[in-house]
Amino acid sequence: MKHLKRHLSLALSAFILMGMKTAVFAEGEDQQAAETYTITVTNENPAISIAGKTYTAYKLFDVVYSGTNYAYTISTGNPFYTNAKSVLDEYFNFDDIASETDIKNVTVKPVKMDPDTHTLSASDVRALADALKPYISGSGAGSAAAQGETAVITVPESGYYIITGTVKPTDPENSESEVISAVILDNADPDAEVQPKAGVPTLSKKITGVKEGTAEITGAILDSQGQAASAKVGSVVSFELSSIIPDLTGYSTYTFTVTDTLSAGLTYSGNFRVMINEAEVSVEPEVSGQTMTVTIPFTTLSNYTKGDPVRITYDASVNQNALTANYENNTAVLTYSNSPYSEGTGETPAKTVCITDIDLDVLKVDGSDHSKPLPGAEFKLYRTVDGNDEYYLWNTDTQTVSWVAARNSSDTFKTDTTGHFEQVIRGLGQGTYYLLETKAPTGYNLLKDPVTVAVSASETDQLITYDVTFNGEAASLSGHSIDMNTARSTTQPKAAGSIENNSGIILPDTGGTGTKLFYLAGTALIILTGILGIVRKSTKIQ
């Protein structure tokens, strides 16, 4: 009898740790069986949803009542006893009951006793749950499909249960992907409340800055969420990828790999860092062509707490390939483990940011007849930085745009027979530029002042709109609106503006109509002199 009481005491303390709810009854009172027993699964993680997912409970142990005493037992016909006995034997002793030939008392093995709590340790409870997963089969003792973020499973009797189910990511909305929840151990006596042991690491991407040389370009980031920026060729763009430490419950290894693909106009340029919970960790990227891969190993992830922030930062330079009709997309995805019991993986939706520059097209026209194009004009494009003029130069060796101090060393833009520049000016970002006419079309006056070209962009509700003016007059624009809520267009913004030239005063030729003008002027002067002489004589007579 003493041995039996000792076993019952050990069983009671062990299952309190495992989450089993126990009731304390007054002396002499008998426990009344509940009419219903429920296990309620509730999800509070916004990154996942259990809506429509089915959760099932499988009974591991029975509860036997005798007056005010109770004990946990297992039937020898229980599938876990017959099929998973080798697992259970690692944690429990199964003692015979004299009056029952097919029922065993369950007690925790002394070697598994935690010396402080005198129960199974939390790690042993987790290990037990995962070790039993391969032996789960059949329809279970009860199941329920979640209504919203709650699933209420009704089971026929109290007992210690294993609960299984799946979750789905909420990004993207209405995702059909599944993530397997680690199995849960809990007691329905009469009710239990549990949360799914599963999670999905999210991924976001943004542009955090644009530099030209060492100078940060103010206003280069175009939208409030950092998903678009305006950058010239040669600029350096800083990117940030953000995620979280996933729920690692039940995992002994975990895939956490970010793949970031740069379009042809961007080149990875270093400054790489990985920060977890604001502490830098030692992880190196693998760069192959336009793809950068970052893998954070399980040994690193497991040092942190579920939900801790993960940040990956790096720089990329805007190269000569950006000088095309298309702008640059930069896309990242996160591949993550979706089951603690297999090597399956899931993938977050692709997160894309874009880098734009603006193309400039110029049309030279007659000031009196805008339908008349003017060939033969020549211009220099420059900007002013810290009070100094810098001129646009296309470097044929490096295939990049640079800005030089010497005007004579810069590019000359000429108008062709259609009145347009022979080459479109590419690679401009936001800012103020000047077109200086250095040669006028034949028969026209040289412009007195440079033409001011102002490039700006604004955002309203994630719609980015470029605005370009020539001397304050709106330019004709195409591809100038970028809707960040939809698939990105690949058409680079382009501004087309007209510049007028007027013809000057025509000096006369000898023997031409100009000579007749001189004759007429001389005749008029003689007549005027005669009239004045007559007026004077008349005045003296009076």
Are 47 and 170 in contact, with CB atoms under 8 Å apart? yes
More confident residue, 226 or 489: 226
Rounded Cα distance, 501 and 379, in Å: 13
Q: Exposed/middle/buried for 258, CB within 10 Å: 0-12, 13-18, 19+? A: buried
In the three-class reduction of DSSP (H, G, I as helix; E, B as strand; rest coil), residue 530 is classed as helix
Contacts of 471 (CB under 8 A, 6+ apart): 451, 452
Q: DSSP letter at 360? A: E
Lookup: tokens for 53: 């997912």
CB atoms within 10 A of CB 212: 17
Does the pLDDT value for residue 87 go beyond 70?
yes
Instruction: Please report, as a single letter, which amino acid is at residue 239.
Output: F
Report whether 481 contacts 463 (CB < 8 A): yes
Helix, strand or coil, per DSSP, at residue 197: strand
pTM, 2 dp: 0.78
CA-CA distances (angstroms) from residue 156 to 161, 186, 532? 12, 15, 132
For the ranges 20-34, 82-96, 286-300, 310-324, the lowest mean pLDDT is seen at 20-34
pLDDT surpasses 80 at 305: yes
State whether residue 172 is helix, strand or coil.
Answer: coil
| Residue 302, token pair as written in the block | 């497991």
**DSSP per-residue string spanning 451-503:** EEEEEEEEEETTEEEEEEEETTEEPEEES-EEETTSPPP-BPPEEEEEEEE--
Residue 27: Cβ-neighbour burial (10 angstroms; 0-12, 13-18, 19+): exposed
Per the DSSP assignment, residues forming a β-bridge with 39 are 153, 192
Residue 489 has what pLDDT?
A: 63
> What is the model's pLDDT at position 463?
84
The 10 Å CB-count burial string (b at 16+, else e) for 37-74 is bbbbbebebebbbbbebebbbbbbbbbeeeeeebbbbb
Answer yes or no: are the C-beta atoms of 353 and 209 closer than 8 Å.
no
Show Cβ contacts of residue 93 under 8 Å, excluding neighbours closer than 6 positions: 7, 106, 107, 108, 109
Write down the number of H helices and E strands in the chain: 6, 39
Look at residue 483 in the predicted model and tell me its pLDDT.
78
pLDDT of residue 529: 57
> Taking the alpha carbons of 519, 525, 531, 533 in that order, is the dihedral positive or negative?
negative
pLDDT for res 329: 84
Backbone angles phi, psi at 510, to 5 degrees: -65, 130
The values of phi and psi at residue 114, to 5°, are -75, 130
Average pLDDT over residues 353-361: 86
Largest CA distance in the chain: 166
Distance CA 492, CA 515 (A): 57
What percent of the chain lies above the pLDDT cut of 70? 83
Asked if residue 519 has pLDDT above 50, the reply is: no
pLDDT tens track for 412-444: 999 999 999 988 788 788 889 999 999 999 999
Q: Is the pLDDT score of 45 beyond 90?
A: yes
Q: Which of 486 and 8 is assigned the larger pLDDT?
A: 486
DSSP assignment of 387-431: TEEEEEEEETTTTEEEEES-GGGS--EEB-TTSBBSS-EEEE-SE
- Which phi and psi angles does 11 have, rounded to 5°? -65, -45
pLDDT in tens, 317-330: 988 777 766 778 88
Give the chain's mean pLDDT.
84
